[in-house]
Amino acid sequence: MENNMLSGFNESNAFAAQHDEGEKPEYTRSEVILSVFVMIASFCFIRYVLFHLMGFITTGLFIAIISAAIIYMKKKKYEFSGFNKLLAAVLYIFSMVFSITANNLVKNLDAVFLIGVGAYFVYSVGASNNKIDRFLPYAMFKALLEYPFSHFGTQGKITSDAISSSKKGSEARYILLGLIITVPLTAIVAALLMAADDGLERMLSGIADHIFGNGFWDIVLQLILAIPCSMYLFGLLYANAHRNELNKLNEQACTQKIYNMRFLSNLVVYTAVTPICILYVLFFISQASYFLSAFTNSLPEGFTYADYARRGFFELCAVAVINLIVTCFVSLFSKKAGKEKPLALKVYSVMISVFTLILIATAMSKMVMYISRYGLTALRLYTSWFMVLLAIVFVLIIVKQFRFDMKLSRDISVVFLFMFGLLCFCRPEAVIAKYNIEMYKSGSLEELDTDTLLRMSDDAVLTAYDEGVLTAEEIKEYKLDRIYLVGYGDTLKKYNLSSVILEMKMN
């Protein structure tokens, strides 16, 4: 009886011990080092990505974070497949974008791209993937949200435990506590002394202005924002290195989820989509001369080039997005879809895609006509890029209707990677400046707007300077005016290749 009671007592103690151990994360020295690195990297990320895209510094930061992730996963004995090595190469290559361009929009898009692909890279290494996940949206959800937030507080626990178990850490805590206690008392004494002596007041006021000026509060804000950023980044790395307690991606479960989404009768789908298709047919018939004029390089009556091109693009964007939503809706929510997809449903998907492709081709023809008359702008270039990307996506959707085994997530990812790489590495504003200058010199463009070129990034300014359109004096005067308007010059310092070359050539 006593043995049984003792046995039960020991078992309950063992359970409690296991429970306590489960609450406290296991960690190694490499994780303590990683935690310190992530804290520093997160502050740099907030400062040099969120607040200032600084070119070479931002490139170095992303390379350091990617390298740290690779070293950590290797320490955890994870093997890198050929696919994961390719992902790492993509991350390193796109990290260079910050250094080769001064275009803030491109750099912002690139930062978002690197965050998404970086999270997926760590997830892919942890999952030992050798190809893109078949259910990529579910994988991205786990990589970006579920896994990192499942260990969001782990860094705090590891840091607290490491400090409490270290003699120097304990001493540092006492020092910090002493500083917290003495700050209010010191402030009161300083205020009294300043009231008693003008010389000390001037001295302390000067010291305070020096310390609390020059962006001090910006740094404080950046430190505060760096804390959740650090917890997220550490959680991302730690979670993928300790995957035993996580819900792994299950293809069978994903297939079942998609199957459960199919609740609409195919007859309902046909009835809903048919009026849209008929409307498109009637629209093309009634507006045939309007759309076909784009291919004959002529304007419909009552239109200017600007109105003609702009109206077509705004119409297209709305219609294309609606068509993409309709196509996805048809494929996801019809009861008979996937392998069971009937011919009628495939025909409807193909029809909607073809209608969209016709609209895209027409709009692109109008835009080419417009650009040939008025030149390039950033909006015209970016919109054209998006239209081409959208057209390729609809072509892939058409192919998918006849090849069920086609990996649509993989193919769209590859196309997007190529198109995004083209956008980043072509330095769009340099292309815009080069095209407009050549048009102006050939006589196709009546007037070259040099003020617009000056307002663009140093990619465009450098091109204009090399072509002799802008002088060093004009560029320096504009930059001085900008510094005067902003109030300080740090925001105008862009440590990238274009800015450095421009500065060297002007001096």
For 185-220, how does the pLDDT look when each residue is reduced to its tens digit (9 = 90+)?
Answer: 666 766 666 666 666 666 666 666 655 555 677 888
Whose tokens are 């050929």? That residue is 82
Integer Cα distance of 158 and 141 in angstroms: 26
Q: What is the identity of the amino acid at 54?
A: M
Q: Is the dihedral of CA 242, 244, 246, 249 positive or negative?
A: positive
Phi first, then psi, for residue 85 (nearest 5°) are -65, -35
Confidence of residue 372 (pLDDT cuts 50, 70, 90): confident
The token pair that represents 348 in the structure block? 């409807």
> What is the pLDDT at residue 19?
38
| Chain segment 346-371, per-residue pLDDT in tens | 888 898 899 889 888 877 887 888 88
| Chain segment 28-61, per-residue pLDDT in tens | 888 889 999 999 999 999 988 888 777 899 999 9
State the average pLDDT over residues 313-327: 78
CB-CB contact of 383 with 353 (8 Å): no
Partner residues linked to 264 by β-bridges: 334
> Over 70: is that where the pLDDT of 77 sits?
yes
What is the pTM for the complete model shown?
Answer: 0.83
Query: Which comes out higher in pLDDT, residue 9 or 278?
Result: 278
CB-CB contact of 87 with 132 (8 Å): no
Q: How far is CA 234 from the centre of its chain?
A: 19
> Over 60: is that where the pLDDT of 16 sits?
no
Half-sphere exposure of 49 (CA within 13 A, CB side): 25
**What b/e sequence results for 307-335 when a residue is b if at least 16 CB atoms lie within 10 Å of its CB, and e otherwise?**
ebbbebbeebbebbeebbebbeebbeebe
> What is the pLDDT at residue 494?
64
> What is the pLDDT at residue 488?
42
> What is the pLDDT at residue 17?
36
> What is the pLDDT at residue 65?
96
> What is the pLDDT at residue 69?
96
| Chain segment 150-185, per-residue pLDDT in tens | 999 899 888 877 777 666 555 655 665 665 676 676
Q: Which of 79, 65, 75, 67 is nearest to 130 (CA)?
A: 79
State the average pLDDT over residues 368-383: 87
> Over 50: is that where the pLDDT of 15 sits?
no
> Over 60: is that where the pLDDT of 344 sits?
yes
CB-CB contact of 70 with 88 (8 Å): yes
Secondary structure (3-state) at 233 = helix
> What is the pLDDT at residue 281?
81
Q: Which of 325, 135, 154, 289 is nearest to 232 (CA)?
A: 154
Percent of the chain with pLDDT over 70: 76
State the average pLDDT over residues 297-317: 64
- For the ranges 17-31, 275-289, 383-397, which has the lowest average pLDDT? 17-31
> Over 50: is that where the pLDDT of 108 sits?
yes
Q: Which of 144, 95, 116 is nearest to 421 (CA)?
A: 95
Secondary structure (3-state) at 245 = coil
Integer Cα distance of 43 and 31 in angstroms: 18
Q: What residues have CB less than 8 Å from 308, skipping those under 6 apart?
A: 294, 299, 300, 366, 370
Confidence of residue 1 (pLDDT cuts 50, 70, 90): very low
Phi first, then psi, for residue 334 (nearest 5°) are -75, 140
> Over 60: is that where the pLDDT of 99 sits?
yes
The token pair that represents 191 in the structure block? 């205020």
CB-CB contact of 444 with 372 (8 Å): yes
> What is the pLDDT at residue 298?
60
